[in-house]
Amino acid sequence: MNAVATVIFNGWKTEKNDGSKAGDQTVKLTKSKLKQIIKETIKEAGMPSSVVKHKQALADMSDEEFATQYGTKSEEQLRQMAWSHGYGKMSPHYWNRVKRASKKGTEQE
């Protein structure tokens, strides 16, 4: 095995033959295995951290704040943005927020 990386799994303790505790477990990986693990981890995570941060920032906004900032976008653009944020294919999530905000605005007048 041509090891290119050593990974330490903190907190995993192994038993030595004499019953005493060994240090943290280490695993040597090949470059291809390391790439495979990274791909699987990214696939499971789903979204880049920048997208997750943007999605969280939008979730923290009220509907009115959201509509002020994104109300000029078309329905299709808002649906694509919701889709890219993991709400399902062409989800109306953000479009509904803009409509709710405009409905509240007309009710208050």
The single residue listed with the structure tokens 């649906």 is: 79
pLDDT digits (tens, 9 = 90+) for 57-81: 999 999 999 999 999 999 999 999 9
Q: Is there a single domain that holds both residue 13 and residue 58?
A: no
Confidence of residue 85 (pLDDT cuts 50, 70, 90): confident
6 has pLDDT over 90? no
Q: Is there a single domain that holds both residue 28 and residue 74?
A: no
**Share above pLDDT 70 across residues of the chain, in percent, rounded to a whole number:** 64
Residue 21 confidence (pLDDT): 53
> Which structural domain range is residue 10 located in?
5-45
Mean pLDDT over each residue of the chain, to the nearest integer = 76
Contact 21, 11 (CB under 8 A): no
Q: Is there a single domain that holds both residue 75 and residue 93?
A: yes
Contact 75, 82 (CB under 8 A): no
Q: Is there a single domain that holds both residue 54 and residue 89?
A: yes
Residue 7 confidence (pLDDT): 54
pLDDT digits (tens, 9 = 90+) for 24-37: 556 677 778 877 77
Between CA 58 and CA 67, with CA 62 as vertex, the angle to 5 degrees is 75
Residue 34 confidence (pLDDT): 78
Q: Is there a single domain that holds both residue 39 and residue 75?
A: no
Q: Is there a single domain that holds both residue 24 and residue 71?
A: no
Tokens standing for residue 62:
């009220």
